[in-house]
A and B are shown apart, each in its own frame.
Chain A
Amino acid sequence: DSGVTQTPKHLITATGQRVTLRCSPRSGDLSVYWYQQSLDQGLQFLIQYYNGEERAKGNILERFSAQQFPDLHSELNLSSLELGDSALYFCASSPSSGSIYEQYFGPGTRLTVT
């Protein structure tokens, strides 16, 4: 158990809908990262927050947004869902932003868009 929690574990929804994925980092970790893992794209970095502020952006679509709250949990919002958004979404946390230390991954949320 990495100490990172993600809810829900599975999510099935229809095209055009909006969903929110939730992540709680390890105790003491200030940095949260979101990733999308799909068969064709592999593991892609989406966005990073550090202590409530957006720190880095990767291949995140405009239909997707995220935030980190004062208690350091983070939410990833996916809207106008398309079939191609079906993927495993991971949250990871690390103690700081500017280090090369490992990230600890949550169990993931498997999103299925039908």
Chain B
Amino acid sequence: AQKITQTQPGMFVQEKEAVTLDCTYDTSDQSYGLFWYKQPSSGEMIFLIYQGSYDEQNATEGRYSLNFQKARKSANLVISASQLGDSAMYFCAMREPPSGGSYIPTFGRGTSLIVHP
């Protein structure tokens, strides 16, 4: 079973509007971390936002916020006021308690976001 599921292969949004990218995860651990990364066409992976499983507040970083619903095991990324430069692949990832001392992240398959002018 996939640990990270991103059900939207592609999303379209109008510039200046908000968009939500879905991510559900599967873990039986109580302590874990959830991350979102952006990969523009140039290829680099850019860290966007982090949410710890024990964090009570939803994480926010500028125009990015994470809608964390622990009971539903979802960690959706919300991008407000979309910009053309937001067009990219977006990956959700989870890190679970260490295996042999290391937190190794598992990545979803990604969602392609295209922002229209």
Binding site for B on A (CB under 8 A): 2, 31, 33, 42-43, 45, 48, 50, 55-56, 58, 88, 90, 92, 97-108, 110
Contact = CB atoms under 8 A, between A and B. Distances in A.
B35 interface: yes
A interface, by DSSP: helix, strand, loop or mixed?
A: strand
Contact of B43 (A2, A92, A97, A108): A108
B45 A90 contact: yes
Given A48-B102, A55-B102, A58-B104, A104 B47 contact: yes
A89 to B, nearest CB: 11
B70 to A, nearest CB: 15
Given A97-B103, A98-B102, A100-B103, 4 more contacts: A43-B110, A97-B98, A99-B103, A103-B105
Contacts of B32: 100
Contacts of B99: 56
A55 B43 contact: no
Interface string B101-112: 111111111100
Contacts, number: 67
B62 interface: no
Contacts of A56: 99-102, 104
A88 B50 contact: no
- Per CB-CB distance, the 8 closest pairs between chain A and chain B, nearest first, are A100-B33, A105-B45, A56-B102, A43-B107, A102-B47, A107-B44, A55-B102, A100-B95
Contacts of A48: 102, 104
A80 to B, nearest CB: 26
B25 interface: no
A43 B47 CA distance: 15
Contacts of A92: 45
B91 A98 contact: no
B101 A97 contact: yes
